[in-house]
Structure 1
Amino acid sequence: MTTALLHVSSDHLPLTATVPPRPRPATQPLTVTSHPAPPAATVLTVRGEVDMLTSTQLQDHLLPLVRDTVPHVIVDLTGVSFFGAAGLTVLVNACAVATAAGVTLRLVASTRPVLLPLTITGMDGVFDVSHDLVHALMRAGCGPDG
């Protein structure tokens, strides 16, 4: 039995297809603002993408609010275009802090990028989720009669 060796000339290197990497769209900046909703709530409005790079910004704004500042903290996520696992982690941690402080954490979510992760993980059953800010404010006693 003889073994055949293949000789490859360096003059004829095999062609390889190269595909340039697809540039990833820049992350939409995250903006987080808060304002009081008398008599008993603070609304935290979140806009942009909540991912592992921006979730600390959300955490830095949210955690001080849920430490016994007002009876209700409402996080308005209707302007969020992406909501990843890091964002869910921030909400779960904030919920634990809020519960310990006697503060109710409510979410406003009406878009697929936010509702889908909440639903898949079962967190929609843990959080008080409203589809609009007016409904969340009314549930917090900040509506026209409260």
Structure 2
Amino acid sequence: MPHDHRCDDSAAPDPRPPDEPLGGLTIAPTQPRRGLVLVRLIGEVDMLTAPRFGDVVQDALAAVATERDHGVDPAHDGPADEDPRPLVVCDLSGVTFFGASGLDVVASAQQTADEYDVRLVVVAGHRTVLRPFRLVALDRRVLLTATHPAIGRHVTAGTAW
């Protein structure tokens, strides 16, 4: 196999195109409004991709907590009785495989969310994601829902699992 010899000691370019997902997972964090970060995942969450998922979720939790702590008042568009705490929504509706490493990421994220006093919601409306949560009883610690208003679908009261 030929070696990439460079005179300037620079690293060889990454052979993947920049838009190709790493290990079959695309992660797209967005901030539709202050106090809310939406993290959409498409593909497989396994031991190769889970660390990146974890980094993105931890960054999102820290970002909304920092906004709040620095006096940036999130726009509260919901009903008066809705929880005004900052929110991170992980949309796993596009996930095709969800392994134990993903469960570890979500469990750690829930612990961080509790420490930061931030709400964490996981959108998981299909068996591929729900079954692992239920097998380890993580569905009792993390708010799972079939849909969420942050991703453009209305949730009625009591739809959380």
In structure 1, distance between residues paired with 2:53 and 2:149: 22
> What amino acid sits opposite 2:40 in the alignment?
T
SS at match of 1:66: helix
Distance in 2, Cα, partners of 1:124 & 1:66: 19
Count of aligned pairs between the two proteins: 113
Query: Which of 36, 40, 49 in structure 1 is aligned with 2:44?
Result: 49
Say whether the 8 Å CA contact 1:106–1:136 is kept in structure 2: no
Q: What SS does the corresponding residue of 1:132 show, helix, strand or coil?
A: coil
1:40, distance to aligned residue in structure 2 (A): 3.1
Show the counterpart of 1:38.
33
The runs of 4+ residues in structure 1 deviating greater than 2 Å are 37-40, 133-139
What is the CA-CA distance between 1:111 and the residue it aligns to?
1.2
Q: Structure 1: where are the runs of 5+ without partners?
A: 1-26, 140-146
**Structure having the higher Rg:** 1
1:120 corresponding residue in structure 2: 135
**Residue of structure 1 in register with 2:125 after alignment:** 110
User: Residue type matched to 1:121 in 2?
Assistant: V
For normalisation by structure 2, the TM-score amounts to 0.64
Residue 83 (structure 1) aligns with: 98
Identity of aligned residues (%): 31
Deviations 1:37-79 (A, max 9, x none): 3253111001100001110110121111112146100000000
- In structure 2, stretches of 5+ residues that fail to align are 1-21, 68-85, 156-161
Q: Provide the rounded CA distance (Å) in 1 between the counterparts of 2:54 and 2:43.
A: 14
For normalisation by structure 1, the TM-score amounts to 0.70
Distance 1:59 1:102, change over 3 A: same
